[in-house]
Chain A
Amino acid sequence: MKIILNSKKTKETALWLFFVGPIFILFTMFFFVPIISGIVYSFTDWDAINSDFNFVGLKNYIFALSIDTDFVASLGRTFYLAFFNVVLTNVLAMLFASALVSNFKHNNKIRTAIFLPNVISMVICGFIWQVMFTKIIGKFGVATGLGFLDRSWLGDPDTVLFSILLVSLWYGVGYVMTIDIAALQSVNESLIEAASLEGANGWQTFWKVKLPVILPTVMVGVFMNVSGSLKMFDLVFSLTGGGPGRASELAMLNVYREAYQFNNYGLGSAKAVILSVIIIAITIFQFRITAKNEVEM
């Protein structure tokens, strides 16, 4: 009996190793090891070339948060952009979803048009909009009499973040809208009918009935959006390069430059850890809020 059990256990272990083992090894190699080594390097003065480095304690963290004004400013810009990006993406996505959830002619075509930017690489998106902002929008403004469009969208520090936000919305709204449409379609019709019989108008039905039901699903979109906004890199890199000056340098771009252009890998790692801690803290906060709402449901 004992032998049979052992053999069963061995089989189960072998099966576990067969299915989980490869991905576990890959995940360890390309996720856990880099994270741990990144944290270790953040306490050193490593320059990526010299195999010798010194442990410098909290020096990199103190420098990043109290001396490096560019990094602190880039964090401020990141939060600013992330706030508007998350709010506007989700509000617009919900508006589009509500409008497109019912079946009508050309419904699918409009959904596809809104979702389409999401299939393009973010870098390509940046280059496309670079041409739009510098060569097309201005001329369009002149031709149509909309003079306010004829300005330097990417070269003016006052408008550059707005331009990035615009492209980010163009890119991201479709994806969240798709999640929201799926959520709205899952709302039980009897609930809506009951609300209607109680005399609720459209807004009340949405606010008091539909939204509470779909909130857990909506929050999935918000999670992804918050994390994506705080980590935004490729769009800024290709659209503005962080300029003019450093007016659109977000935190991830600052980290990239510190490590890969200025060769301060230790300091760059410390900045990356700071950003990660912020994102993790916000995500945990979001999870708690969502979990609370789900319980209340």
Chain B
Amino acid sequence: MMKKMICTFLILLTAGSVVFASGQQDKSAQTKRVVNILYAKDDVAEGMANLEEAFERAHPDIDFVHEMLMGNEYDTVLYARDAAGTLPDAFTVFNIGEAEVMRWAKAGKITSVDNLKVVKQLPEAEKNALTLSNGNIYAVVNSSTAAGIVYNKELYKKAGITSVPRTLDEMTAACEKLKAAGITPFIAGAKDGWTMGNQIWKPGLDAVFPYEWNAKRQANEASFHDYGMGMFDFIDLYIANTQSRPLDADYTTQMALFAEGDGAMICQGLWVYNSIISMNPDMESKMGFMPIPFTNDKTKNNLYTQQELAWLISASSDIDAVDTFFDFMINSPEGREIFSRDFAVINPYGIGFEPNPVTADALSYIEAGEYMFNHHENSFPAEFFMVHSSSMQEYMGGTITKEAILDRMDAKWLEAMSK
């Protein structure tokens, strides 16, 4: 009897919990619209929290739910939610090129954003860069970032380098001066292949390979051998001037060694500033930023920029609510203030902000028109980031030649196309 009572009680408890939980969900869904976002950028998390408060105050009929995840689990969670039918209304992706975005578009999971207010107000050049082959824009881009060389001004001065090297020959001379002064020119984090694949190979592709080469490569009418050798002048210089055992050092070690002043330069992006300052606050006034000089033609050595905080919008989202949110973020006085203060990013909306010294240097190149958008890698097969990274590691380790790397790129391209 007692057992029966306990069993009945447990069953009722479980059933009651389910009914109660579903009832709660229904209630909130009936009364409020929701904008649910998922993103992978920890340095804007505080800004998002402030936006939530301001946005919900201005639009009490819309709930703003935001969640930030970093690392490998971001994609896992995103795909799991998609599989469960709960894709967030807006979510960030790391690559907004044709290859990545069209997967979502072809699956009917995302909607084009051409009619969103913040997209309509973008400069034409930015719109063109975001337009995919089917003529639609799918990404709402909030910010851009840049990859290049972060350098230590104090060590440059110590070595007697008076101006930023803007050509390959000038960089070679700078490395010689640094070494003569007992300073390691470059700190590498080659154990993490992306620190070379993403930060050297990708910018190198856009610096050395002409824009139109990409369409020919897509049509199998071009080879990586066409211009690839031109990238190795800088790569060889880099490898010859890193600290000892660069393949033992990962990204964190690269940051730590640079922050400690163990080397004069790192090939990284604007995102490293906060990490380095947190390791050594004295570095704040010592850091500068420059494009990578892949060639001796200064006009080709432009700053490599890429879209950073880029959102895809779920096809099942309340698009009016999403439009309202982004419009609030970019165009309302409150939203602009939060965006300017808490996001503090290079953006296409003309929202000014107080840049740190590294970002200020990047802005000076952008304002002078000495920059390029990432182009080639965006349309490459997804596995190419791995091909770049592992090939660079092998080349640094001396187990593969330049020719073999370029052969591999061509072969891997055909292999990827046959999958």
Contacts and interface: CB of A to CB of B under 8 A. Distances in A.
A154 B107 contact: no
Interface in A153-170: 153-157
Interface in B243-277: 245-250, 253
Q: Classify chain A: how many residues form its interface, as a range.
A: 20 to 34
**Interface majority SS on A: helix, strand, loop or mixed?**
loop
Interface of A: 45, 47-52, 63, 67-68, 130, 133-134, 152-157, 241-247, 257, 260-264, 267
A241 B382 contact: no
Q: Counting chain B CB atoms within 10 Å of each CB, which of A63, A133, A241, A242 scores highest?
A: A241
Across the A-B interface, give the 6 residue pairs with the lowest CB-CB distance, nearest first.
Answer: A155-B247, A245-B394, A50-B107, A262-B383, A244-B393, A134-B248
Nearest to B391: A245
Contacts of A45: 419
**Interface majority SS on B: helix, strand, loop or mixed?**
helix
A203 B253 CA distance: 50
Q: Classify chain B: how many residues form its interface, as a range.
A: 35 or more
Given A50-B107, A257-B386, A156 B397 contact: yes
A245 B383 contact: no
B418 A244 contact: no
B248 A133 contact: yes
B109 A49 contact: yes
Given A154-B248, A245-B390, A49 B107 contact: yes
B233 interface: no
Interface string B363-375: 0000000000000
A133 B253 CA distance: 14
Nearest to B192: A241
A262 B393 contact: no
Nearest to B384: A262
A271 to B, nearest CB: 12
Contacts of B383: 257, 261-262
Contacts of B249: 134
A174 B400 CA distance: 39
Contacts of B381: 262
Contacts of A155: 190-191, 245-248, 397
A50 B104 CA distance: 7
B208 to A, nearest CB: 22
A243 B191 contact: yes
